[in-house]
């Protein structure tokens, strides 16, 4: 019984290693069309944008938290410095989710 458990755990761990090794996609190594296609395909994607920076970009507001809205931002890709993508941010107009609202 323990042997079967250990064998199953080892197989699952081995399957997880390639996923961990892949890391997150680097927007700087992709074209803008590839970035937009990836976000559209997944609905949301965490992308590396610099040596120490990354963020989560979304296809539209459905992929944000309830109290958030989208804002267009530009990121650098292989073919342009102005690839326009959506970023979730707190909706300042929504007073229901602000701390201390009355």
7 belongs to a structural domain:
no
29 belongs to a structural domain:
yes
**Helix then strand then coil, % of the chain, to nearest 5:** 40, 25, 35
Confidence of residue 6 (pLDDT cuts 50, 70, 90): low
81 belongs to a structural domain:
yes
Domain span at residue 81? Answer: 24-97
Q: Supply the pTM of this predicted model.
A: 0.70
> Is the pLDDT score of 21 beyond 70?
no
> Is the pLDDT score of 4 beyond 50?
yes
68 belongs to a structural domain:
yes
Q: Compute the distance between CA of residue 64 and CA of residue 31 in angstroms, rounded to an integer.
A: 24
17 belongs to a structural domain:
no
Confidence of residue 17 (pLDDT cuts 50, 70, 90): very low
Domain count, the chain: 1
pLDDT attached to residue 23: 83
19 belongs to a structural domain:
no
């Amino acid at each position: 019984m323990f042997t079967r458990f250990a064998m199953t755990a080892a197989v699952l761990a081995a399957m997880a290693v390639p996923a961990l090794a892949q890391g997150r996609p680097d927007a700087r190594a992709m074209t803008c069309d590839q970035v937009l296609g990836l976000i559209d395909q997944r609905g949301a994607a965490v992308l590396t944008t610099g040596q120490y920076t990354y963020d989560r970009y979304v296809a539209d507001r459905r992929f944000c938290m309830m109290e958030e809205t989208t804002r267009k931002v530009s990121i650098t890709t292989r073919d342009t410095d102005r690839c326009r993508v959506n970023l979730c941010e707190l909706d300042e107009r929504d007073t229901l989710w602000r701390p201390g609202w009355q």
